[in-house]
Structure 1
Amino acid sequence: MSTTSYNKSKQTVNLESFLKNFTDDVWNKTVNSLARTDYGFYVQHVHRGVYVPARHTDLICKKLEAVERGECTRLILCLPPRHSKSMTVSETFPSWFIGKNPHRRVIQVSYGDSLAQRFGRENKKKINEYGKEIFDIGIDRMNASNTNFGIEGYRGGMISAGVQSSVTGEGADLLVVDDPIKNRTEALSPAYKNRLWNEWQNTLLTRLHPGGAVIIILTRWSEDDLVGRLLEEEGEKWDVISLPAEAEDDDDLLGRKIGEPLWPERGYDEQWLTEKKKEVGSQTWASLYQQRPSPESGNIINRSWWKYYKAPPAQFEEIIQSWDCSFKDMSTSDYVVGTVWGRVGANRYLLDMVRDKMGIVATMQAIRNMTAKYPDAQTKLVEDKANGTAVIEMLKNEIAGIVPYSPKESKVARLQAVSPQMEAGNIWIPDPSIAPWVHDYVEEITAFPNGKHDDICDSTSMALLRFMQAQPLFIGRA
């Protein structure tokens, strides 16, 4: 090989090396720049492909960016279990917040010291591995425990502690409260709820620096848990991201359709929804998974009053339909609810239910369908208001037994009037194993009048009040 060709070859090798190094350098700078400015990208980057983003985590990441910018200072996040809330927030966000603001301090609390240690360790690990290249910071060697670490050359850092541990004397520019409730026993204990509320008011909140931000991450257990009390006391101060496992309303934060799962890509699909409802029961499903806890005992109707059947009686004295229709303009989130009831002596049996958002045409078809399914239901009660008035007028000559119902008492008074029947154990509803929809039925009535919906309550009270006027006439179901 001549000197000339060798030099050319050497020059070629050097050029290729230069281009490779140049490309790697540009790539690293681009990645670090994105991680520094885009929190959603940062979460994926520092978890090395383990983290799985989703629609709901993207929404949370954008809101956390607003927290870091100071645009949001009070944030509540309520999600079902195992939906990546801690990985997205508690295990990662403090490291990003400190990286962008190394002079600021974070206090993070959870129900116990072991969980707090995990959160602290995960954030410290991310700063150790990525702090230098992304934010040009590092852990202070003189202050480097998992539960209390500082940033070298700055005043910032992070403290992690159990909710009952002392953080007296420490201040926070960001306070993160994640899972301050360990289990159902604590969640439903009035004494523990009061202790947690006192801890919030007298200890945690006093640690917050002026202009500091608070993030509370909670799976709802009860109406008067920490989130419930905060929303009642000062709801206007808080930004709330509350995401049920199954979409229930048209104003869903993610734009989901009613019945659509929150994270089907991760296996929490429609089949999972159905199976989980049966597995955990109506109260747990409504609170932990749907973020709408109802009272433990009930406001008017106590959940312990319900009787469940797996097979209805063979004969009934009377079978009726009871329909509560939606408002005419459909601008509300109300449902059309139709229930079918059977009566035997003093006992009443809920046999079927239709509950959906329907216009007048769909409502009439639903009544036709239910009439064909239950031909022995001679009486079809239809509340004479909203779309019900038009339904009565258009179906009265087509379907026999359409009876207008015009209530004179309030919704509360009507349910109170029939509550003795439930307390006496005379109201039987289908077991969830044969009618999964009964979860919605129980939770709406238990939450009434403080729940979001009351259509099931209206349909129920209308039917039970009608039965109080009934005369014996046996009808077979064979």
Structure 2
Amino acid sequence: MTAAAEERYAAIQLARADFYFFSRWMFLQRKSFKWMRAPHHKMVCDALTRVFRGECKRLIINIPPRYSKTELAVINWMTWCLGRVPDAEFIHTSYAAQLATNNAWQAREMVSHEAYREIFPETQLRSDSAAKHEWRTTAGGVVYATGAGGTITGYGAGKHREGFGGAIVIDDPHKADEARSDVMRKNVIDWFQNTLESRKNSPDTPIILIMQRLHEDDLSGWLLKGGNGEEWEHLCLSAINDDGTALWPEKHDIETLRRMEQASPYVFAGQYMQVPAPLDGGIFKPGMIEVIDALPAERIQWIRAWDLASTVDGDFTAGGKLGRLPDGRLIIADMARDRAGPDERDALIRNTASLDGKSVRISIPQDPGQAGKTQVLYLTRSLAGYVVSSSPETGDKVTRAEPFAAQVNVGNVLMLRGDWNDALINEMRMFPNGSNDDQVDALSRGYGELINRPAMKINPDLLKRA
């Protein structure tokens, strides 16, 4: 055997045994140039190898887009596993059926490649495996691809036996431009719970989720908070390391990453940093709010504005007390907030009004339709003696919040110290990608009411002291 032949034989044996080397070797064989790899690639390969060995049953990998996630975690991993275990059964899904099908087809093409057959000669495609979304090996292995929300009738993943028998592999279950929609996110989570999880042929069938973060309550966030009751191993890879260096400088150097962050802080925070809002806030910069221990001894124009909910296990009802000083500064003085049904919610509004006193105006949103008018009429009557106004919400949440956010971001908003401060600051920081936005909605409504009413006359002496 020549030296070149010996070297190739050694490479083939190493590719068979080691997933990371397999990925590097097959890249070279298929594309005729070396893979521009980085340390995070080995981290991903090591985590996936632990799944194959049975050391991890539930794995979440958060990683920026175009950082080799699909090639490694879907195409390469499924084919390497099928080489080691030819009868393994996989279900692969992505947010679009076309993407999942394309990944499955690329995996099929790899199994057909002559370099793959050198490594795993025993893994052969069935002659009738021509469908792009589903193909099988002669040993009984299968790869089935579908989009999130699709049907999986008649297919299962894994084997009911000792050792590895396949897996469910999820790659980007959410479409980026739909992730802010509560309905669309919930649809994906419901499908995961009600359809995908039930396709495990064994309780030990591994599930791998690899995705970029898009929202605090995307599938990854929901699972990490215990959504399905299982413990998930988490590999979180940010485009910028903790020491300020680039994760993959050959792909994006640190200067490029900072420009990307500046250009689109929301997208960058979620998709590249795996934090679904900029750390210092996006629309809101709550670090600009000065926390005070006592109200100024000046006349303050007050309003308590409400954002209403009607369930005990979903959104909060929130009422923010917002004031305007003679010099135009704003003060957040209180936040009433609770998850309550209609009766408890209405009692909260009445009791809060009693505590505020009749000098504090009240603003209530009016839902569309006759039911909304009836609700406002009922609340207004129950608040007899108070100044109550109501109006429909117009525009999306972000548009409504931007005027108030502008005041926060220039340091024109004060906040009275209280145990409710942290929840409000965290909500502002995450807005609009957080789980809740009720406090922001309430304060945005309150600010709109304040600026749409005549301002108080300003004492010239106050201006001299300012």
Normalising to structure 1: TM-score of the pair? 0.57
State the 1:107 CA deviation: 0.8
Partner in structure 1 of residue 20 of structure 2:
40
Partner Cα separation in structure 2 for residue 86 and residue 168 of structure 1: 25
Partner in structure 1 of residue 395 of structure 2:
none
> Where do residues 271-290 of structure 1 align in structure 2 (5 Å cutoff)?
271-281=255-265, 283-290=266-273
Partner Cα separation in structure 1 for residue 84 and residue 235 of structure 2: 24
State the 1:290 CA deviation: 1.2
Q: Contact 1:110/1:161 (CA < 8 Å) preserved in 2? A: yes
Partner in structure 2 of residue 345 of structure 1:
327
Q: Which segment drifts farther, 59-68 or 160-169?
A: 160-169
Larger strand share, 1 or 2: 1
> Where do residues 66-465 of structure 1 align in structure 2 (5 Å cutoff)?
66-129=50-113, 130-136=115-121, 137-152=123-138, 154-173=139-158, 174-184=167-177, 186-210=178-202, 211-232=204-225, 233=227, 237-248=231-242, 257=243, 259-266=244-251, 268-281=252-265, 283-294=266-277, 345-347=327-329, 423=404, 426-429=407-410, 446-447=429-430
Partner Cα separation in structure 2 for residue 201 and residue 175 of structure 1: 13
State the 1:238 CA deviation: 0.6
Q: Contact 1:128/1:139 (CA < 8 Å) preserved in 2? A: yes
Q: Contact 1:44/1:52 (CA < 8 Å) preserved in 2? A: no
SS in 2 for 1:264: coil
State the 1:124 CA deviation: 0.7
Name the amino acid aligned to 2:153: T
Partner Cα separation in structure 1 for residue 77 and residue 176 of structure 2: 25
Deviations, residues 425-476 of structure 1 (Å, cap 9, x unaligned): 533449xxxxxxxxxxx9895149x99xxxxxxxxxxxxxxxxxxx76679x
Name the amino acid aligned to 2:124: G
* Residue ranges of structure 2 left out of the alignment (5+ in a row): 159-166, 289-324, 331-400, 412-424, 435-461
Deviations, residues 173-228 of structure 1 (Å, cap 9, x unaligned): 210000111222x1111111111111101111111121211110111111111111
Change (3 A) 1:261 1:138: same
State the 1:81 CA deviation: 1.8
Partner Cα separation in structure 2 for residue 344 and residue 75 of structure 1: 56
Partner Cα separation in structure 1 for residue 186 and residue 40 of structure 2: 31
State the 1:39 CA deviation: 0.8
Partner Cα separation in structure 2 for residue 237 and residue 69 of structure 1: 18
Change (3 A) 1:164 1:428: closer
Q: Contact 2:61/2:234 (CA < 8 Å) preserved in 1? A: yes
State the 1:143 CA deviation: 2.4
SS in 1 for 2:126: strand
Deviations, residues 328-369 of structure 1 (Å, cap 9, x unaligned): xxxxxxxxxxxxxxx993349xxxxxxxxxxxxxxxxxxxxx
Q: Contact 1:346/1:426 (CA < 8 Å) preserved in 2? A: no
Partner Cα separation in structure 1 for residue 19 and residue 44 of structure 2: 10
Q: Contact 1:76/1:239 (CA < 8 Å) preserved in 2? A: yes
Q: Contact 2:156/2:201 (CA < 8 Å) preserved in 1? A: yes
Partner Cα separation in structure 2 for residue 264 and residue 229 of structure 1: 31
State the 1:306 CA deviation: 6.6
Change (3 A) 1:443 1:219: farther
Give the alignment's Cα RMSD to 1 decimal: 3.5
Deviations, residues 130-164 of structure 1 (Å, cap 9, x unaligned): 34211122111122322211112x11121112122
Partner Cα separation in structure 2 for residue 146 and residue 425 of structure 1: 51
Q: Contact 2:93/2:171 (CA < 8 Å) preserved in 1? A: yes
- Percent identity, aligned pairs only? 28
Q: Which has the larger radius of gyration?
A: 1
SS in 1 for 2:183: helix
Aligned residue pair count: 303
SS in 2 for 1:171: coil
Partner in structure 1 of residue 446 of structure 2:
none
Q: Contact 2:283/2:405 (CA < 8 Å) preserved in 1? A: no
Deviations, residues 246-304 of structure 1 (Å, cap 9, x unaligned): 234xxxxxxxx2x22211132x11211221012113x2222112111149xx9xx9965
